[in-house]
């Protein structure tokens, strides 16, 4: 699997952070169809942020593919039409232990990205699959601070 992160990862811009970086160590993924990394240390200025220090305060990223990759179904011999095309879902999950109420147990916040690629388009239209990913990543990177601000203030 080519889902591999190079450590350290440079974080996206966030209000109150200066040059955030995240040093990763290999962790055990929940399934063999994925890779998982834990944040072992932080760089830059991220006051109040902690690394993946205990099971109750995780800071991990999991990258996974479908356990079984699906192909294009056969064309219906009677109608000549293609049936429902399955999708292969690739997922990225970030977990971070957070304090929701002072002096109470930590809770785990989660951020998901799911990329669904119709079976067959990986080989017949790879340029457009890549363009979709490029726009997604570029957009998330360009509005990183805005996403953080909205997640904290509720104002979109």
In a domain, 93, yes or no: yes
Q: Please list, in sequence order, all residues whose beta carbon lies within 8 angstroms of the beta carbon of residue 141, skipping any fewer than 6 positions away.
A: 12
Q: Is 120 left (phi over 0), alpha (psi -120 to 50) or beta?
A: left
In sequence order, which ranges of the chain are alpha helices (DSSP H)? 121-124, 126-142, 144-153
The answer to whether the beta carbons of residues 34 and 63 sit under 8 Å apart is: yes
Q: How confident is the model at residue 83 (pLDDT cuts 50, 70, 90)?
A: confident
Please report the pLDDT score of residue 50 as a whole number: 93
* Identity of the highest mean pLDDT range in 77-91, 107-121, 130-144: 107-121
- Give the rounded distance of the alpha carbon of 66 from its chain centre: 14
On average, the pLDDT of the chain sits at 92
Q: How confident is the model at residue 1 (pLDDT cuts 50, 70, 90)?
A: very low
Separation of alpha carbons 134 and 146, rounded Å: 19
Domain of 92, in residue numbers: 9-73+84-153
Please report the pLDDT score of residue 21 as a whole number: 95
CATH number at residue 29: 2.40.160
Residues listed for the chain = 156
In a domain, 55, yes or no: yes
In a domain, 98, yes or no: yes
In a domain, 79, yes or no: no
Q: How confident is the model at residue 16 (pLDDT cuts 50, 70, 90)?
A: very high
pTM score of the predicted model: 0.87
Please report the pLDDT score of residue 54 as a whole number: 85
In a domain, 27, yes or no: yes
Please report the pLDDT score of residue 53 as a whole number: 84
In a domain, 2, yes or no: no
150 three-class SS: helix
Give the total number of structural domains in the chain: 1
């Amino acid at each position: 699997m080519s889902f591999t992160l190079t450590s350290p990862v440079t974080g996206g811009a966030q209000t109150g952070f200066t040059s955030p970086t995240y040093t990763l160590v290999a962790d055990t993924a929940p399934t063999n169809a994925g890779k998982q990394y834990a944040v072992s240390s932080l760089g830059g200025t991220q006051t109040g942020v902690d690394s993946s220090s205990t099971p109750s305060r995780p800071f991990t990223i999991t990258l996974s593919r479908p356990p079984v990759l699906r192909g294009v179904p056969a064309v219906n011999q009677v109608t000549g039409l293609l049936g429902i095309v399955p999708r292969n879902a690739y997922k990225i999950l970030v977990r971070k232990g957070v304090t929701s109420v002072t002096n109470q147990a930590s809770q785990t916040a989660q951020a998901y990205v799911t990329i669904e690629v119709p079976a067959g388009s990986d080989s017949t239209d790879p340029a457009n699959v890549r363009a979709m990913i490029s726009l997604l990543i570029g957009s998330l990177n360009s509005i990183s601070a805005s996403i953080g601000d909205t997640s904290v203030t509720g104002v979109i």
